[in-house]
Amino acid sequence: MGDEAYRLRLTDKNGNVVAVSPDFKHLAALKDGIKALRENAATGVVVDLRHKPHTS
């Protein structure tokens, strides 16, 4: 198998890559990563880092 690795690219509806996973050495590990991403996507916290919050 050599130095082969699997990687996940998360894209938006326009095909833009928004995230890239680390390398997975085994396909089964990649599939587990995809499953975890799907399970956590609905409950993940989204933070907009484009703007700093206002402080009083």
pLDDT at 1 over 60: no
The pTM assigned to this predicted structure is 0.63
pLDDT at 40 over 80: yes
* pLDDT tens per residue, range 20-29: 999 999 999 9
Contacts of 4 (CB under 8 A, 6+ apart): 25
Contact 7, 21 (CB under 8 A): yes
Compute the average pLDDT of residues 41-47.
Answer: 82
